[in-house]
């Protein structure tokens, strides 16, 4: 059974750095795309970017290019979403999702809530 387990809720101050994780199990981690999706409070879903762990092919939505870094560590079957300097506008729920193709995402993590407040 494919499972994605995300890291827990985080409370950070503006300007701090953060790296959240998404651990895959039940499938060959190298062969599935992982996507990151943002959902701001009371708002809709936004694709942030995707990564193919097998060859580290990484693509970002224009709105998120340069704002976050997506990476993956095949040795621990885990994908990451990273910020170097958080803003209050980064407060949101972040979901990871996995699929063999980029045109649909069948499997979703439970979400990681990030709160950025001074």
Partner 1 sequence: QSALTQPASVSGSPGQSITISCTGTSSDVGGYNFVSWYQQHPGKAPKLIIYDVTKWPSGVSNRFSGSKSGNTASLTISGLQAEDEADYYCTSYTSNNTFGVFGGGTKLTVL
Of the candidate residues 54, 59, 91, 115, the single one contacting partner 1 (CB under 8 A) = 59
- Which of 85, 94, 91, 101 has the alpha carbon at shortest distance from 11? 91
Q: How far is the CB of 43 from partner 1 (least distance, A)?
A: 8
Q: Is 3 in the site for partner 1 (CB under 8 A)?
A: no
Structure tokens at 45: 């879903």
Distance of alpha carbon 106 from alpha carbon 99, whole angstroms: 6
- Please, which of residues 24-43 interact with partner 1 by CB under 8 A? 35, 37
Nearer to partner 1, 13 or 43 (CB): 43
Is the backbone of residue 96 left (phi > 0), alpha (psi -120 to 50) or beta? beta
Contacts with partner 1, residue ranges (CB under 8 A): 35, 37, 44-47, 49-50, 59-63, 95, 97, 102-106, 108-111
């Amino acid at each position: 059974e494919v499972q994605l387990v995300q890291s827990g809720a985080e409370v950070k101050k503006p300007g701090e750095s953060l790296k959240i994780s998404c651990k895959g199990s039940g499938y060959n981690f190298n062969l599935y795309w992982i996507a990151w999706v943002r959902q701001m409070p009371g708002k809709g879903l936004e694709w942030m970017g995707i990564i193919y762990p097998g060859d580290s092919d990484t693509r970002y939505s224009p709105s998120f290019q340069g704002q976050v870094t997506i990476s993956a560590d095949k040795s621990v079957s885990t994908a990451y979403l990273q910020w170097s300097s958080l803003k209050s506008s980064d407060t949101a729920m972040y979901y990871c999702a996995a699929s063999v193709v980029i045109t649909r995402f069948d499997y979703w993590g439970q979400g990681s809530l990030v709160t950025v407040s001074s």
